[in-house]
Structure 1
């Protein structure tokens, strides 16, 4: 059985890790963390980083889809590539599931149309607007669709799913293995139990929070150079937007024009050029980050056969943290 847990920048860690800890223990199971591209994905606070193990294209027909949520879910609803993947994956899946605001993505893909569904209690009205019939239940099973409420409920959802896949005894054994026997110090895990004062405090804290995935230009440049040095073209491409525009004098030599448009043409250019680098290694000398313009300049040396060529790349990032424009310049 193939299980795909979707990752995206700005997800909530437990939304993905809770189900992972349960589902990885199912027999005869292969589990993947999937996203549009292989890259490092950060949680909403930027403190947890996870590696994508497969792209969406690599896993088009998983048996189980797990869609986590997080503060970035609203923006994710406009990601047509992901929405289409969810839509198509659901057509052939045995189970399609969500945690927290991940149900909004399922709804956007049409999976929840007319179905009773749940999600984080603060986001039930948007769930209604997206076509579902929202409920405050912790876990809801509707045919092959299972939705769960906020964050921690993903563990409950995964155990319910485990029982349906492998039987109650296996699910119970998994629950014991992870020692899931919660005894919270406060009985306020739902709005109904928490009371008006705590609900309002929670809302104020959520409104004041500013989810942020911090950008480290030095780390980015270091990873970019390391990826080129091992000729990992797919990893390099993971930094670029699908509509990227890349200009380089080398492109004119290899592609017939100095500017390449779109990720497909950029990939073709990189794959033509990579073998020609031979033993060349990139060594980053300096980075200049202009936060206001979201522009990174990487100044680096290209070492080959005892010689050094000075070079730089100027990259402009979009709101999703991907490079939308880039210019490569080379010294003599």
Structure 2
């Protein structure tokens, strides 16, 4: 499993790094989540500069893609040249969007007329883009999912793992990162969020 975690200038560290860290818990099984950026270096909303692991074009060959959020997402959504570099295919890829990443999901035409999740700041922009916004942390329609709120990144990662490796692998990944003494609580919450959006076979895996 090759996973592109799309990370743009002004990115939110929680969105990119939490999801990537959880997904990379399956590295021994051949999974690899890579920080994927349009430029060689990007700086976060809090001034942390990182080097990309993959260029933006990596996303079109990845098995799964997470579109992260950040303070410049509205500018990115108006950059047709940059968006043209994102060739995503929900028929063959799992695609998830985090917070303001949902605006890019809408601009790429991947939400269709279905409702989505986003953060409270981005909500009016997503509605302006023609998408109904749910007051829930996670929703998925087939191979396309969206999450609202920074810490909902765990739900996107958990959903991708459950879809491709099974429910138990997803629970194990959440168990590893959850606080001591609260591990079952975190697992139960994650499964309650993603469970309704898993095919029955995957839900029981």
Tell me which interval the TM-score lies in, with the shorter structure as reference length. Answer: 0.7 to 0.9
Which residue number corresponds to residue 132 of structure 2?
Answer: 133
The reply to whether residue 21 of structure 1 matches residue 34 of structure 2 is: no
**8 Å contact from structure 2 (residues 59, 65) kept in 1:** no
Report the structure, 1 or 2, having the larger strand content.
1
Which residue number corresponds to residue 72 of structure 1?
Answer: 72
Which residue number corresponds to residue 158 of structure 1?
Answer: 157
**1:22-37 matches, cutoff 5 A:** 22-26=22-26, 27-37=29-39
Distance 1:176 1:167, change over 3 A: same
The reply to whether residue 10 of structure 1 matches residue 23 of structure 2 is: no
Distance 1:72 1:57, change over 3 A: same
CA distance in 2, matches of 1:29, 1:85: 24
The reply to whether residue 54 of structure 1 matches residue 54 of structure 2 is: yes
**8 Å contact from structure 1 (residues 32, 53) kept in 2:** yes
Which residue number corresponds to residue 142 of structure 2?
Answer: 143
Please report the RMSD computed on the Cα atoms of aligned residues, expressed in angstroms: 1.8
| Paired residue secondary structure (1:116) | coil
| Paired residue secondary structure (1:121) | coil
Q: Whose radius of gyration is greater, 1 or 2?
A: 1
Distance 1:58 1:17, change over 3 A: closer
| Paired residue secondary structure (1:155) | helix
Unaligned regions of 5+ residues in structure 1, if any?
184-332
CA distance in 2, matches of 1:28, 1:82: 30
- How far the C-alpha of 1:168 sits from its partner, in A, is 0.9
- How far the C-alpha of 1:59 sits from its partner, in A, is 4.4
The reply to whether residue 124 of structure 1 matches residue 123 of structure 2 is: yes
CA distance in 1, matches of 2:90, 2:97: 16
- Per the normalisation by structure 1, the TM-score is 0.51
Which residue number corresponds to residue 110 of structure 1?
Answer: 109
**8 Å contact from structure 2 (residues 23, 32) kept in 1:** no
- Per the normalisation by structure 2, the TM-score is 0.81
**Higher relative contact order by CA 8 Å / sep ≥ 6: 1 or 2?**
2
Question: Which portions of structure 1, spanning 4 or more consecutive aligned residues, are displaced by more than 3 angstroms?
Answer: 180-183
- How far the C-alpha of 1:96 sits from its partner, in A, is 0.6
CA distance in 2, matches of 1:6, 1:114: 23
Report the structure, 1 or 2, having the larger helix content.
2
Distance 1:30 1:155, change over 3 A: same
